Chains A and B, each alone.
Chain A
Amino acid sequence: MYVIVAGGGKVGHYLTRALIEAGHEVLVVEKDRARSAYLAEQLGEVVTTGDACEVRTMKEIGMERADVVVAATGDDEDNLVICQMAKRKFHVPRTIARVNNPQNEDIFQRLGIDSTVSSTKIIFNLIEQQIETGEVIPLAALQRGNIELVEVDLGPDSPVVGKRIPYIGLPEEALIISIVRDGHAILPNIDVEFKEGDTVIALVTADKAATLRNVFAEGR
C-alpha cells in the first residue's frame, strides 16, 4: 500500500517506521525543515518537506495514488483539511485522522473521514476498563484519529496459538507491530508462530477493535 503520513511528530515518526517494517510504501510530509531532515536520517528517503494542507503539495506527493492518508499533525483543523482534500479532491480510499479533542470526532465522521483516533478517549477507556486475559487493551491512540495501539495477551485457549500471522484471519484494518515474548520484542514476519504467553501489540482502527479481539481471544 502507498500510505501518506501527514505530520512528522512522534506519532508520524513511529507510525511510519511501523508501516515501513510491514512492507508498505510510505511518505511522511513534515513542514519543518529541521524536523524532516532528522526524520530522513532516521527513516530514510521517505520524508518530504512541505505543508500537507496545501493542494500543491498534495499533488507533488502523488496523493491521487495513495491508498491511505493518515493525518497525524498536532492540530485537529489541519487534520480535517488534509483528510477532506484527500478524500474529495484526490479520491483517496481511506483517510485516517488524529483527533485531539474527542468532541471533534463527531464532525470528522459527519464530514466523511473514514477513521478518527482520539487518544484522550482511548486513555480514558484504558482507565475505565477491567483488564482480563484475552482482552484487547488500548494502549494509546493517535491523538486525532481512530487508530488504536492495542495489546493482547495470548492465553492458552487463544485461537492463534500455534499459527502464523498470515493464517489467523487478521482484519485488513489491523497491523501487528510487535510480538513480545519473554521480555523480547519480535518483529512480525510471516514465519513467526504465536505462543501462549505472547503479548501482541497491534495497530487497529477503532471500529475493528472488536474483530481483532475475536481473532486473538478465547471464545466467549
Chain B
Amino acid sequence: MNIVILGCGRIGSTLATSMSRDGHNVSVIDRSSDAFRRLGADFKGNMILGNGIDEEILRDAGIEQADAFVAVTNGDNTNIMSVQIAKEKFHVPKVAARIYDPIRACAYRELGIETICTTVIGARLMKDYLLGKEWGMASDYCSLSDVEAAI
C-alpha cells in the first residue's frame, strides 16, 4: 500500500519504519529535517521536507496515489486540517489523525474522521494497570462515548 505520513515524531517515525519494513511504499513529511533522523539509515521510503497542509508538499509526497494518509504531528489542528484535505480534496480512501485533545477527537469523529486520541487511550491503559485489571479490547480504550457525555 502507498501511505503518506505527516509528522516524523515518535509515532510517525515508528509507524513509518514498521510499514516500510513490511514492504509498503511510505512517504513521510516533516517540517524539520532533523526529525528524519529518527527513521534510521536503512529507511527505504521517501522523506519530504515541508508543511503538511500545503497541497504542493502533499502532492510531492504522492498523496494523489496514496491508499492511506495519517497525520501524527504535535498539532491537533494541523492533523485535523491535513486529513480533511487528504479526504475531501484528494479522496484518499483511508485517513486518520492523532488528536491529543479528547473533546476535539470526539467532535471530529462525529464528523466522520477517524481520530486516535492517544491521551485517552494512554490514561485508560494506565488506569487499568493501576487497578490491577487485565488490559482488554483496543476498542474499549479508543471509545470516546464518555468524553462525549461529559461535554
Contact = CB atoms under 8 A, between A and B. Distances in A.
Interface of A: 53-56, 75-78, 80-81, 84-85, 88-89, 101, 103-104, 106-107, 110-111
B77 A78 contact: yes
Contacts of A106: 89
Interface string B69-102: 0000001111011101100110000000000010
Contacts of B54: 101, 103
A133 B42 CA distance: 65
B103 interface: yes
A85 B101 CA distance: 14
Contacts of B76: 53, 81
A104 B104 CA distance: 21
B103 to A, nearest CB: 5
17 contacts: A53-B76, A53-B104, A54-B101, A56-B103, A76-B81, A77-B78, A77-B80, A77-B82, A78-B77, A81-B76, A81-B80, A88-B111, A103-B56, A107-B81, A107-B85, A107-B88, A110-B88
Interface of B: 53-56, 75-78, 80-82, 84-85, 88-89, 101, 103-104, 107, 110-111, 151
Given A88-B111, A103-B55, A81 B81 contact: yes
Contacts, number: 54
Contacts of A101: 53-54
A110 B87 CA distance: 11
A119 to B, nearest CB: 17
Given A54-B103, A55-B151, A103-B55, A80 B81 contact: yes
Interface secondary structure of B, over-half rule = helix
Closest 7 CB pairs of A and B: A77-B77, A77-B81, A55-B103, A81-B77, A77-B78, A80-B81, A110-B88
Given A103-B54, A106-B89, A110-B89, A81 B104 contact: yes
Residue of A55, A77, A106 with highest tally of chain B CB at under 10 A? A77
Residue of A53, A56, A81, A106 with highest tally of chain B CB at under 10 A? A81
Nearest to A106: B89
A100 B151 CA distance: 31
Contacts of A53: 76-77, 104
Contacts of A56: 103
A107 B107 contact: no
Contacts of B151: 55
Given A107-B84, A107-B85, A110-B89, A55 B77 contact: no
B106 to A, nearest CB: 9
A55 to B, nearest CB: 5
Nearest to B82: A77
Contacts of A111: 84, 88
Contact of B80 (A54, A80, A110): A80
B55 to A, nearest CB: 5
A201 to B, nearest CB: 32
A188 to B, nearest CB: 36
Nearest to B55: A103
A55 B81 contact: no
A81 to B, nearest CB: 5
Contacts of B110: 88
Given A76-B53, A76-B81, A55 B88 contact: no
Nearest to A89: B107
Contacts of A103: 54-56
